[in-house]
């Protein structure tokens, strides 16, 4: 017994040329500076990255563990 499946012809997905967007300005990137649109944006991104993307500097004092001055009697 076979259920008759409804085969709906759907439009094939058109393969578009991969056009990465420049993460800086949003313009379509170029092969020479993928995924950036220009060397300038590439530098901008690089600069951002070096500036403090991976180095988060904070002048906040490190949190102290909640264990000083607190007495607790369990059981």
Query: Does the protein bind Zn ion through residue 42 (CB under 5 A)?
Result: no
Please give the Cα distance from 26 to 32 (Å, whole number). Answer: 16
Instruction: Give me the least distance between CB of 31 and Zn ion, in Å please.
Output: 14
The three-class DSSP label of residue 32 is helix
The angle formed by the CA atoms of residues 47, 29 and 11, to the nearest 5 degrees, is 140
Instruction: Give me the least distance between CB of 29 and Zn ion, in Å please.
Output: 7
Q: Annotated binding site for Zn(2+): which residue ranges?
A: 22, 25, 37, 41
Q: Annotated binding site: which residue ranges?
A: 22, 25, 37, 41
Q: Which spans of this chain sit near Zn ion (rule: CB under 5 A)?
A: 22, 24-25, 27, 37, 41
């Amino acid at each position: 017994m076979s259920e008759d499946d409804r085969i709906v012809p759907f439009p094939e997905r058109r393969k578009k040329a991969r056009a990465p967007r420049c993460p800086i300005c949003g313009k379509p990137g170029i092969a020479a500076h993928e995924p950036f649109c220009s060397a300038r944006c590439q530098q901008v991104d690089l600069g951002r990255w070096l500036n403090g993307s991976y180095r988060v500097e904070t002048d906040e004092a490190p949190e102290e563990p909640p264990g000083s001055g607190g007495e607790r009697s369990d059981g």
